[in-house]
């Protein structure tokens, strides 16, 4: 029979956050694939786990995944762990899971710590809907593209950042998104855990005096729907109502539906659109409403 892949969440700081199910699984499987074996051996030694380790990381994720899948096809039971948190979230585990599904290998996930969820729940910001972006890409063009997308994001945004890049990233976010409420979380679950509900400006002012220390999670308030509507209305204000009408009529709308759409876009009544067109001497008559 084929083996199985177990995605095992491990502590992000406090070792007591590991679950009994994960501990039992790590002891019972045939092999553990770890992002950094030097880091993970400390965790295994702490809990007295003797299961063999193999490395699985960003730079060998495709070829090593093929090998690990071949071993599971022979019956090997495999656990996957990351340096901290839940495997598959912003790490190479995603590739191994994909290859397992392609090969028909069963996959299960053992829930546990995740820095993004931990930060979100203690952020003091809205938690019902959120967008997880992890680390912004280092490539300049790709980074700008994602930042542009986030500008109109209405959900709470979660990002990761290293201390030596924190100020630069906050400045970029501030420039693109404008002033927002944010929560800066660092050293989650560890001795010096800190969560500070603040704003971009206040955070940057503080970081001019204090050097960032520890790994950070940045939780950013999403843009309100009211702000989105205002932005859209401002964009429509750049063209005349006649040009606005022509755009919709060019899409095949009749005059009545076009006036309704124009009114909705601009946040005014359909009668105001009609009255404007009459005053401008356009050919729209009362029969078109």
In Å, how far are 5, 77, 100, 239 from 27, measured between CA atoms?
Answer: 14, 11, 22, 67
Percent of the chain with pLDDT over 70: 92
Q: Are 130 and 157 in contact (CB under 8 A)?
A: yes
Q: pTM for the whole thing? A: 0.77
CB 122 within 8 A of CB 219: no
Average pLDDT of every residue of the chain: 90
Mean pLDDT confidence for 239-254 = 82
Q: Would you tell me how many other CB atoms lie within 10 Å of the CB of residue 149? A: 12
pLDDT category of residue 13 using cuts at 50, 70 and 90: very high
Whole-number Cα distances in Å, 187 to 72, 108, 115, 184: 36, 28, 10, 10
Of 89-103, 115-129, 240-254, the poorest mean pLDDT is in: 240-254
The owner of tokens 């730079």 is 59
Residues in the chain: 289
One-letter-per-residue 3-state SS of 14-48? CHHHCCHHHHHHHHHCCEEEECCHHHHHHHHHHCC
Q: Is the pLDDT of residue 80 over 90?
A: yes
């Amino acid at each position: 029979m084929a083996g199985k892949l177990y995605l095992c969440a491990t502590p992000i700081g406090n070792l007591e956050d590991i679950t009994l199910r994960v501990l039992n699984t790590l002891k019972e499987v045939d092999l553990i694939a770890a992002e950094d074996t030097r880091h993970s051996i400390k965790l295994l030694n702490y809990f007295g786990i003797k299961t063999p380790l193999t490395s699985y990381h960003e730079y060998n994720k495709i070829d090593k995944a093929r090998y690990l899948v071949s071993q599971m096809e022979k019956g090997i039971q495999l656990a996957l762990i990351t340096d901290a948190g839940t495997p598959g979230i912003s790490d190479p585990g995603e590739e191994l899971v994909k290859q397992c599904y392609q090969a028909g290998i069963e996959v299960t996930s053992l829930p546990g710590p995740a820095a993004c969820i931990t930060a979100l729940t203690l952020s003091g910001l809205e938690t019902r809907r959120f967008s997880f972006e992890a680390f912004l890409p280092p490539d300049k063009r790709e980074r700008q593209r994602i930042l542009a997308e986030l500008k109109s994001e209405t959900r709470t945004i979660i990002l990761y950042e290293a201390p030596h890049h924190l100020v630069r990233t906050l400045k970029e976010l501030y420039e693109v998104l404008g002033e927002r409420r944010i929560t800066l979380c660092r050293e989650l679950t560890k001795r010096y855990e800190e969560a500070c509900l603040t704003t971009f400006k206040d955070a940057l002012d503080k970081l001019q005096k204090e050097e960032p220390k520890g790994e950070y999670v940045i939780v950013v308030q999403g843009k309100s729907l009211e702000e989105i509507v205002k932005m859209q209305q401002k964009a429509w204000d750049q063209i005349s109502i006649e040009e606005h009408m022509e755009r919709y009529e060019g899409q095949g709308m009749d005059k009545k539906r076009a006036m309704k759409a124009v009114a909705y876009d601009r946040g005014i009544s359909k009668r105001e659109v009609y009255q404007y067109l009459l005053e401008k001497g356009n050919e729209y008559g009362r029969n078109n409403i």
